[in-house]
Structure 1
Amino acid sequence: MVLLIFILGLIIGSFLNVCIYRIPLGKSIAYPPSICGHCHTRLKPLDLFPVISWMFLRGKCRYCGESIDIRYPFVELFTGILFSLTYWKYSMHFILIPYLLVTAALIAITFIDIHHHIIPNSINLFIFATFFVFNFSLNFIPWKNAFLGALIGGGFLFILFLFTGGAGMGMGDVKLAGVLGLYLGWTNIILLLLLSFVLGGFFGMLLLALKIKSRKDAISFGPWIAMAAFITLLFGNDIIRWYVNLL
């Protein structure tokens, strides 16, 4: 099952590459079929095997010879690994499907925000809609807890957004924290907020120290929310129990 989930992650990762490229440009993710970004030749099935096709073609387009961004196989592998970790944590529990969907959305958000400094409303809406579909059918979190989580997550970042004038974060981050609060509830969304600021601060300073970014460069906050969300989805309750036992 781990292998099957990993392969599923590779396939979903290939689709996420389409989303990452097309959604910020306002293009359809369904049509036209996949094409080379350089010569615009329609890709054949042999060109679309996740990771394998990139390795077989040595990272170059079969038709024009231009390099294919390493981001494509990386996103596919990354999705496969995160899907496998999610399965390792939850096995075939009913919560697995909604959590895999949220994980896929978080991956797309991460790479879009890194490259474009935006979090598309369409992806936040996807997370929002899937929550209602799955919570109505599976009832995996009490509604009161979910709405309180959304209020705390979105509300806290919205207040911060107002006080800072949007410096360091945008309304996309606010909306993302709100919809993730639905999944996590009020206790775990507090943990997510704490982790996101710790991760953002640490890696932000690291990027500055390595001179990858300068003080004038924008550093997206969405990836740190996404990273904190994945950690919280998998280990949030364990972390909170550990902290309470320390007290």
Structure 2
Amino acid sequence: MIPDALITVFAALLGLLIGSFSNVLIWRLPRHESINFPPSHCPHCNHQLAPLDLVPVLSWVALRGKCRYCGAPISPRYPIIELITGIGYALLSVAFPASVIGWSLLGLCLLFTFLLVSSVIDTETYTIPDELTLPGAVIGLIFGVVNARSGGAAAAGLPVFEAALRGMLLGAGLLIVIDLFGSWVLRRFRERSYPEFPLGFQQIGVSLLAGAWLGVWWGVAAGVLSAVLNMALRRVLRVPEWLTLGGTLLSLAVAGSGSGIGPGLILMVQGSVAAAGGMALLCGVYWWLRPGEEDEDEQYDPSAMGFGDVKLAALIGAFLGWEKLLVAVVVAVFAGALLGVLQLLVWKENRLKFGPYLAIGAVVALLFGPRLIELYRSTFGL
């Protein structure tokens, strides 16, 4: 077996290489460019870069931060991303030795890259590409299978497939529920002016209500049925939010009153949130793959939460499970409040969206989640 110290060296070198590729993703994905073609080139003179120009960190240092061919400055972000990835991979290999968790270490390294790339893109463009989050969530599910085959991964608290699927659905569901009710409040409880066709937030609301009574998959099926009716009628069949959102609140209130109606408050909350998350991910996949270009003049209702954050939460839940996902969200809220105040003091505006805070929360949850969860349980006697 390869010693863990040697694996740490390999992880650091791999991180430097992946960090170099991460820079490609950060530059090209927001511009909707292929990550395969053309080969790496200077964005100023378009000259193709030679292999000696692409050595992580060292090339930037040797070239003194300037293009070899045109002399244009090269952003220091490139070596910074490479160094962060290399150091991050090395630290992960120390915190989660490959001798203990096996190939699951690769999954954690991929999670780190997804979080870093998403955060940088979100900081620069206020968007998180679907090309990262949706395939990333699927990769998280795949590593759930890998984790199940490693006793060490389970002991380290990494989710098996069932827990990864649950974490993905609840991750997306938690943030989309915040968005649904927050947006409803922003509209002063008025109905949406621009409902999506054939599926969108109205169908997510249907799944939210149906999931509370029927469970996750029947809740998702109800949302899909609503979309099918839209397509059959060739128009939006409005489902009022006073029925879906208001009905969900009323349902949970009845369940929590001790009336004995329904499957119970905890099961209703879980089914409702997970069903909404499942439907939200279906909407995300549809909007990602739908044909045609997005209409720049298309109008939208006020939103309390970016939909990219919803899919990023699904990715985190798939890799970490639902308990650590909750830790990540709580840490993200506190980090957002603290760093947001600092930004207001320095720049007079909050320049970061929720995505980078959610990424910070995910790293904290990965490293310290079990301890924080145990501290919470012991404090409140759970």
TM-score (ref. length: structure 1): 0.92
Q: Which residue of 1 aligns with 2:32?
A: 26
1:83 and 1:100 in contact (8 A); partners too: yes
For the pair 1:53 / 2:53, whether they are aligned, the reply is: no
Q: Is the 8 A contact 2:171 2:310 kept in 1?
A: yes
Residue pair 1:168, 1:218 contacting (<8 A) in 2 also: no
Aligned AA for 1:179? L
Choose the corresponding residue for 1:192, options 328, 337, 343.
328
Deviation, 1:34, is 0.4
Match of 1:145 in 2: 163
SS at match of 1:3: helix
Report the more deviating stretch, 140-149 or 98-107: 140-149
1:90-129 to 2 correspondence within 5 Å? Answer: 90-92=96-98, 93-94=101-102, 95-129=104-138
Q: Is the 8 A contact 1:168 1:221 kept in 2?
A: no
Q: In the aligned structure 2, how far is the partner of 1:77 from the partner of 1:42?
A: 23
Residue 308 of structure 2 corresponds to residue 175 of structure 1 = no
Indicate yes or no: 2:348 matched with 1:223: no
SS, match of residue 193 in structure 1: helix
Compute the displacement of 1:246 (Å): 4.2
Pick which of 146-155 and 62-71 moved more: 146-155
Structure 1, 22-31 or 1-10: larger mean CA deviation: 1-10
Larger radius of gyration, structure 1 or 2?
2
Q: Distance in 2 between matches of 1:219 and 1:10?
A: 26
The CA RMSD over aligned residues, in Å, is 1.8
Return the alpha-carbon distance in structure 2 between the equivalents of residues 169 and 86 of structure 1: 30
5+ residue gaps, structure 2? 1-5, 149-153, 184-301
Paired residues, number: 244
1:154 alignment partner in structure 2: 172
Kindly, what percent of the aligned residue pairs are identical?
38
The question of whether the paired residues in 2 share the 8 Å contact of 1:150 and 1:178 is answered with: yes
How far did 1:122 drift?
A: 0.9
Residue 241 in structure 1 maps to residue 381 in structure 2: no
Q: Deviations over 1:120-141 (max 9, x none)?
A: 1110122122123222344252
Partner Cα separation in structure 2 for residue 20 and residue 103 of structure 1: 14
Q: CA deviation at 1:168?
A: 6.0
Residues 182 and 137 of structure 1, relative CA distance in 2, 3 Å threshold: same
Q: 1:44 to 1:142 in 2, by over 3 A?
A: closer
Specify the code of the residue in structure 2 equivalent to 1:196: A
Cα deviations across residues 159-203 of structure 1 (Å, max 9, x unaligned)? 221233365631010111122112222211111110111111111
Question: Aligned AA for 1:114?
Answer: T
Q: Structure 1 10/168 Cα, relative in aligned 2: closer, same or farther at 3 Å? A: farther
Taking structure 2 as the reference length, the TM-score comes to 0.61
Deviation at 1:66? 0.8
Supply the AA of the counterpart residue of 1:132.
L
Q: Residue 82 of structure 1 aligns to which amino acid in structure 2?
A: G
Structure 2: how far apart are the matches of 1:167 and 1:223? 18
Cα distance, 1:142–1:43 mapped onto 2, change above 3 Å: closer
